Structures are given as C-alpha cells and as structure tokens.
Amino acid sequence: MNYKLVNGTFDILPADSHKWQFIEAKIREFMSTYNYKEIRTPIFEYTELFKRSIGDQTDIVSKEMYTFPDSKNKSLTLRPENTASAMRAVIENNLVRENPQLKTFYIGPMFRRERPQKGRYRQFHQFGIEASGPKSAELDFEVILLAVRFYESFALKNVELEINSIGDLETRQIYIDALKKHLNPIINDYCENCRNRFNTNPLRVLDCKIDHEKNQNVPKITDFLNEDSKAHYERVLELLEFNNISFRENHLLVRGLDYYSDTVFEVTSSDLGAQSALCGGGRYDYLVEELGGKYTPSVGFAAGIERLLLSLEANDYAFEERYLDLFFVCMNEKTKLFASKISDSLRRSGFKVDMDFCNRSVKSQMKYANKINAKYVVVIGDDEINSNQITVKRMEDGEEFKTSFIELSNYLN
C-alpha cells in the first residue's frame, strides 16, 4: 500500500519550513510589542465546548468538525478554532481576575472538514489574539490595528480592512426579524444553501458568495443598533479615521461563528481568489457567560497562515535565504576526525557548520556545499592536518584565505 497525505492536509517540507519560522518569529515579535502573552491549549476538547460557542447551526459545527468518542464515551473534537478553547482556559484558570485586561495570543493547527481548495484546507494554521476584560472601543481598535500593521509589515498589496457592527443579542433578534421579512418574498430566487440558511441561520444569507448581488438592498444591520452599540461602533470608526487606517464598511459582513456581538471585521486580499479572508474576528462579549463564566467582554481575531503565504507568493515576497557558515570538505577518515572536533568548537561559538557524511568525492562535496548555500568551505586533507595550515574559500567570489584551525573562526564573519 502507498501511504498518502489525507485529503486537505499538507507537509511543510524542509525547503519551505524557514518561511513558516520567519512568519512565526514575526508574529511573536508583534505580540510582544502589543503586550500579548502566548496561551497554548490542547488540540482537542470536549465537543460540547465548540457546539456551545460556535453554534449548532453554523457550518463549522453542523458539518465540519472532526469528532470522535474517547474511552468513556465522551465526545471529543479536534479544535476547529481557538477562541472557544482560550475562553475555556480563561474561565478554568480565573485569568481575568488575575489580569483585568488579559491579552493572549496563539499559533497552531486547526481542523475543519471543509472541501479543500486554494486557501482552504482540513488542517490549517492560525495565529490569533484574544483580549478579555474591558468593553472598550479602544481595545477593538488596537486588535484591528495589530492585524492591519501585521499585513502592512510584509508590504502586501491589494489588502482591505472591512468592518461592520452586528450589535447586541437583542438588536440581532430585531434585525433578523426585519431581514426575514425582507427576504421572505424573494428567498426562492436564492441558492439552495441560502434557502436552508433562511430557516436555520438567516444572518448567513448575507455573506453568500453566489447571491451577493441580490443582497445589496437588504436592510442594514447598523440601522438597528441600540444607543450603546451605535456609540461603540462610531467610536471604533473614529479611532480608525483618527489614525488614518483605511477601511470599508461592509454591511453584509456577519462572520460565520455565532458568538460575535458589536464589532466584526475581516482583512481581505484580492490576490486570494474565493477564499479571500486573510483574517477575521470581532467582539464576543457574551461567550464567557455562555460557557458558564462571569460576564467578560472580549475581542479578538484569527488569521490563516497558509493564506498569508499565498498572498506573499502573489506579491513575490523575497524570504531571506538560508545559509551555512562553513562546510568541511573531508578527504579521508582521519580528516573527518579533525572536522568533527573543529565543527563542535565552532558550533559552540554559534556558527552553523556541517560536513560530508556520504564519502563523496571532493568535487561533489564542493557541489553540495554550494547547493546548501555554504558561505565558506574548508578542504581538509593530510597536508592540512600535518602543517596546521588551512585554506578557507569564500564561495560568493571564490576568494581564498590561509589560516590555522585555531584562527578559523576569525574568517567566518
């Protein structure tokens, strides 16, 4: 039998792993400058957590979760996202009592049984932030700003911030009634998915890709906001304007998870095709209560790392090349003894060093050194060992320097 990857998953191979490491390092750098601390939650949780948070009628819960029984017949699910788990951990560890403006971030794999296509996978990677405690428009703004500045730091073109407010729970119910009234006479002209959603999750009719045009005249949810929600939303927009952050109000943006309230946003890229959301998030003030904790207003977003990589590719982003400081070309067994000892000493001083393990000819060792981007090469034969005189070759221009083993490190910078 030939073993193959599971459909919708992929390997991150050695040739590409540096791109992931670079992005992850950048994420960590951003998180530290905005004072977010990492939270790592398990890859699986009790299924009920996701059902309760994301919502029974959402696509994620109704058809995309990887769910399995554990030994005590409790149902477990591979996390389809990390907000629910983060809030479970907040409640379980009383994190907001310890810190009234708790800021956490995460990076890791998520699992959704979606139909695979460009930018959509069954195991994908997100980084995200969750800020819990204050109900503050300034915090919404900071969360959005982090996302915007993050993408800006890669000089990505064709990126747009879209924003909307879906108000509180009461507003939403009033709006849904108005929306259904508007859609009722015309819903039969919509796609099958929308016709189903009309009954199960009417808000999601708004972000249907197929019937996008038909939705241009639906009532605007922002016209239904109560005073508090309206003031909150206007303050977020004011902060964006004051800081010269460009954005587009998208009245059809409602997001695919049930826990949101008030501010919702996405950063989209027109380089991505159908799966255009680089990241998405918003405020979710009632989730912690829903999960059995105290009222804990929260706001956050999550971003797909694969989609960032796709946009970087579309923008011809130049990742820094990987290199090795030194490769030892060894002529025989005895010279390998020396190479092993000197490699050890150089590595302990922080140099990246490698040598031949395949007994290749000198010529093919040189070729290999070139292929793996070694900056310098030293050929060690018996003469070099006997005389303690070696030649360091700079691969970039072929320039050679004579030195001793002991002084070798001086030539490597």
Residues that bind ligand HAM (CB under 6 A): 81, 83, 112, 114, 119-121, 124, 126, 128, 130, 256-257, 277-282, 284, 300-304, 306-307
* Closest CA relative to residue 258, chosen from 52, 23, 38, 11: 52
* Smallest distance, ligand HAM to C-beta of residue 110, A: 7
Nearer to ligand HAM, 207 or 234 (CB): 207
Angle at 117 between CA 300 and CA 188, to 5 degrees: 80
3-state helix vs strand vs coil in the chain, percent to 5? 40, 20, 35
Nearer to ligand HAM, 128 or 133 (CB): 128
**Per-residue burial over 331-343, b = 16 or more CB atoms within 10 Å of its CB, e = otherwise:** beeebbebbeebb
Nearer to ligand HAM, 134 or 381 (CB): 134
Nearer to ligand HAM, 83 or 164 (CB): 83
- With CB atoms as reference, the residue minimizing the distance to ligand HAM is 304
d(CA 218, CA 17): 45
Q: Spell out the SS3 assignment of 127-189.
A: EEEEEECCCCHHHHHHHHHHHHHHHHCCCCCCEEEEEEECCCHHHHHHHHHHHHHHHCCCHHH
d(CA 155, CA 118): 22
* Smallest distance, ligand HAM to C-beta of residue 167, A: 17
Tracing tokens 């639906």 back to the chain, one arrives at 218
d(CA 378, CA 394): 9
* Smallest distance, ligand HAM to C-beta of residue 156, A: 13
* Smallest distance, ligand HAM to C-beta of residue 257, A: 6
Nearer to ligand HAM, 202 or 282 (CB): 282
* Smallest distance, ligand HAM to C-beta of residue 22, A: 18
Reduce the DSSP state of residue 377 to 3 states and report it: strand
Distance of CA 373 to CAs 323, 390, 394, 409, Å?
A: 5, 21, 11, 18
Going by DSSP bridges, is the β-strand pair 263-269/75-78 parallel, antiparallel, or unpaired?
unpaired
Nearer to ligand HAM, 150 or 376 (CB): 150
Nearer to ligand HAM, 65 or 369 (CB): 65
* Smallest distance, ligand HAM to C-beta of residue 92, A: 18
Nearer to ligand HAM, 197 or 336 (CB): 197
Residues 6+ apart with CB under 8 A from 320: 18, 22
* Smallest distance, ligand HAM to C-beta of residue 112, A: 5
* Smallest distance, ligand HAM to C-beta of residue 33, A: 19
